[in-house]
Every structure is written in structure tokens, then in C-alpha cells.
Structure 1
Amino acid sequence: MHSNFTRYQYKRYISYDREALASQYEPGGYSLQAQNRKDATMNQRDGIIKFENERIKTLQEERLHIQKKTFTKWMNSFLIKAKMEVEDLFTDLADGIKLLKLLEIISSEKLGKPNNGRMRVHKIENVNKSLAFLHTKVRLESIGAEDIVDGNPRLILGLIWTIILRFQIQEIEIDVDEENESSEKRSAKDALLLWCQRKTHGYPGVNIQDFTSS
């Protein structure tokens, strides 16, 4: 049987075959191709991780915003009695004055006149007075006056939530089945949710369904 390859074609084939082998096994050949595929896979994975991290960050920021808005309205529902108002929860508590007033109103106790000085030491003094009072009512952990003065979002939200649990939730009794004239205590979270829904009813653009996505 005669081969279809001429001598010249055969040499070209052998040469090509050697080049193909070289492209696989020689430095800069197959190893480079494999590395390129590995790099592409890693880039894809990094892209997915980056997307998920950004998504998680966005959800956390949304939740933070909702909690901040809810707790601000809760505070203002009491501070209005003293003709005070919180506009930014993370900065307006820094001097400790509104925090002291809130505690006086919801506890019906006198905490003493706040220091109206503008210096940091005066602000810390006021916040420490608030925290000292709270320590007699609840257990506080990992919250210092400096955290409030410096506007730490997570710890400020935690502080307000602790105050709500101690002074507000205990007084909220919710009708579960009005038709049967029966009622029961709901969880603190459910009680606060219903309270917030009632307090914010009629506010344009405010429709609180939960504490994560409303």
C-alpha cells in the first residue's frame, strides 16, 4: 500500500508532531496553556467571591439603615416630650445629652443635669452617666462611653436595642386574636416590629415589614 504522504509531507508532519509535543511538555508550552486555564479559573472564582462579598456588604448596609431608621423613630417618640429630636443616631448621641434625657423619660427617674461642655471629656462624662444608670438595670458588655462618642454604629444600635428590651418591650402587650378576645406576649422582636408599624403608620415612604429588608 502506498502512503499518501510524500517524503516532504512526511517531514512536515513529523516536524509538526514534534512541535505539538513541545507545546505540551517543553517550558512555555503545555505548562503555559495549563497556567492560563488555571489563571482564568482563579479570575472567575475571584470575580464570584468579589460579587458575593459586595452583595453581602450591600445587604448589611441596608439592614443597618433600616435599624438606624427604626431606632431613631423610637427615640424621637419619647424625646418629643422634651422638645428634642435625633436626626442622625450615630452622631446625635455623641454628647450624651439626648441619651440621658431618653433614659430619664422612659424610666421616670432623674439622672442629674448633663454637662453642657463641648469638649470630648464632657461628652464622655455624660455618656458614662447614662451607662452607669443602665448598669443598674441591665447587663452591658463591650460598650464604652468612647464607642458612643466616636459614633460606633454597631455598638450604638446594640445599646439602643438593649434599652428597648429593658424599658419598652416589657410594657408592650399585643392582641393576637382580637375576635376571641385573647392576647399573649410575643417575642421582643415581634413586639417591637408591631410597635414600629403602628408608630410609623402614615409616614410617606416608610413601610416596615421586618428588620432586614423593609
Structure 2
Amino acid sequence: MAASRAASRAPRDIANVMQRLQDEQEIVQKRTFTKWINSHLAKRKPPMVVDDLFEDMKDGVKLLALLEVLSGQKLPCEQGRRMKRIHAVANIGTALKFLEGRKIKLVNINSTDIADGRPSIVLGLMWTIILYFQIEELTSNLPQLQALSSSTSSVDSMVSSETASPPSKRKVATKIQGNAKKALLNWVQYIVTKQSGIEVKDFGRSWRSGVAFHSVIHAVRPELVDLQKVKGRPNRENLEEAFTIAETELGIPRLLDPEGM
């Protein structure tokens, strides 16, 4: 009898653990995406701030403002005290149409779900926007990145005329993303190995100790980092200091927290 009850509890326990992990991931994503958005909205005149990602995207006003900052294009926007749901849905529709016009595939993302503040849909949209515009930025810097790394590491010859400028078609997006990520990882691997002797295998677990972050900072501004001290400190302390230095000394927006690593 006891064994039967234990067996019946097991699936529920697993489901509870999975739900908790999913909730934690959602919190981390929400916090990180909000910081990324605010780092760009701060460039707007006048600036805007997103306080609650799920609530602040509902009327589409800040979503359109973000796309204007990222693209440099002016987009039509309904706003004012008398805004109703129909106006909010129209704003979000304008944003989605703009993204689709750039050949960005929006999977299961629609205006009403954003207007309802559905967390998974809002996060999915924000990730799509971040991914696309990050690809543009990395791709525009690919020639310089390869030049930096080609003389010091075995970076493949992967920059072609097709990827020398931001992508305009979805079919080349994956190739561009792979090229940019590979070039960046190769450069980081060389820099970190040279500076601290540790191995960076990816953009995930390899960074949790904070040593890789400090090594990259040291490569740019050696006077800001004492790598010997870094190697003997706790992960959290290293991460906190690296993010603070990057923000205060290098002007890099703080998008990550030690808790999210």
C-alpha cells in the first residue's frame, strides 16, 4: 500500500520539479530580456523604461519604440489616454508586420496573445527580436572579428560577400548566426586560453566561474583585472565584479546577474 502511494506521488513530484524549473527559467529570461530592452530604450528621445515586461508590451507602444530604436525607422503608433484594446492590438500588429517584412518567421505569435500579456508568447517574441538584431550586429562585425582572430587562431575562412552585411532573407539567417557565433567563440577561446589558461567550450557552462569574463576584460583593459586573484575567488564574486567592471569601465549594459548563470 505504501509502495503504491509512493509510486503515485512520483509523477506528481517530477511534474512539480519541472514546473519549478520552468518558472525559474521564465523569471531569468524576463529579467534578462527586460534589461536588454531598457538598454536600447534608453537611447530613445525621450527615453522609455520597461518595468514589467508582460504588462508593458500589452499596448504595443514600447514594443514599437524598441523596434524604432533597433531599426532606425519610424513606425506608426496609436497612443494616448483613450487607447482601447483595438488600438493595442493594432500597434502590436504593426510591429509583427514590420518583423515579417524583414523575413523574420514568427511561430505561434499573434497580436492578441501579446495584448493579453501571455508570458510564453511575450518571451518568444522578445527572443526572436533579440536573436535577429543580434545576428545583424554580429554579422556586420564579422570581417573585423575574423581579422582579429585569424592572425592568432585557426578561424575558418567563413566570411563571404553574402554574409558581409546584415541578412535580408530568412534562408541565410541560420548560416549567418552560425558564422558569427563560431567566429566569436574562436576569438574568445584564443583570448581566454592565452590570458588564463582555461578552456572555453561554449557560451554556457564555461562562463559560470567568471574567469572567462575577466579574461576578456583583461584582453581589452589589462589594468582592470588581476587574474591571479580571480582564479582563487568564488564564482559569484567573480561574476559580480566582471559585470560591474564591464558596465562602469567599458560601458557595456549589465544584462546578466550571477543568479542567472
Q: TM-score, normalised by structure 1?
A: 0.67
Alpha-carbon distance, 1:53 to partner: 1.2
Counterparts in 2 of 1:173-192, with a 5 A limit?
A: 173=141, 180=152, 185-186=180-181
The answer on 1:165 being equivalent to 2:131 is: yes
2:29–2:123 Cα contact (<8 Å) kept: yes
Q: Deviations over 1:28-67 (max 9, x none)?
A: xxxxxxxxx3xx2221112222221111111111111111
1:100–1:114 Cα contact (<8 Å) kept: no
The runs of 5 or more residues in structure 1 that have no matched partner are 1-36
**SS of residue paired to 1:168:** helix
Cα distance in 2 for residues equivalent to 1:141 and 1:69: 23
Counterparts in 2 of 1:16-35, with a 5 A limit?
A: none
The answer on 1:43 being equivalent to 2:42 is: no
2:78–2:88 Cα contact (<8 Å) kept: no
Segment of structure 1 superposing worse, 98-107 or 120-129: 120-129
Counterparts in 2 of 1:121-140, with a 5 A limit?
A: 121-137=86-102, 138-140=104-106
Spell out structure 1 runs of 4+ moving beyond 4 A.
173-179, 181-184, 190-194
**SS of residue paired to 2:257:** coil
The answer on 1:88 being equivalent to 2:130 is: no
Match of 1:201 in 2: 243
Counterparts in 2 of 1:139-158, with a 5 A limit?
A: 139-158=105-124
Cα distance in 1 for residues equivalent to 2:121 and 2:77: 25
Match of 2:169 in 1: none
Q: TM-score, normalised by structure 2?
A: 0.56
1:115–1:125 Cα contact (<8 Å) kept: no
The letter for the 1-side match of 2:94 is K
The letter for the 2-side match of 1:73 is K
Question: Would the alpha carbon gap of residues 104 and 56 (structure 1) be closer, same or farther in structure 2, given more than 3 Å must change?
Answer: same
In our comparison, the structure showing a higher alpha carbon Rg is: 1
Question: Would the alpha carbon gap of residues 51 and 115 (structure 1) be closer, same or farther in structure 2, given more than 3 Å must change?
Answer: same
1:169–1:192 Cα contact (<8 Å) kept: no
The runs of 5 or more residues in structure 2 that have no matched partner are 156-178, 186-201, 208-212, 218-241, 245-253
Segment of structure 1 superposing worse, 178-187 or 64-73: 178-187
The letter for the 2-side match of 1:151 is G
**SS of residue paired to 1:81:** coil
Q: Deviations over 1:155-195 (max 9, x none)?
A: 111111111122123312586986927776216xx89989x
**SS of residue paired to 1:186:** helix
Q: How many residues align?
A: 167
1:96–1:124 Cα contact (<8 Å) kept: yes
Segment of structure 1 superposing worse, 106-115 or 74-83: 106-115
The letter for the 1-side match of 2:243 is H
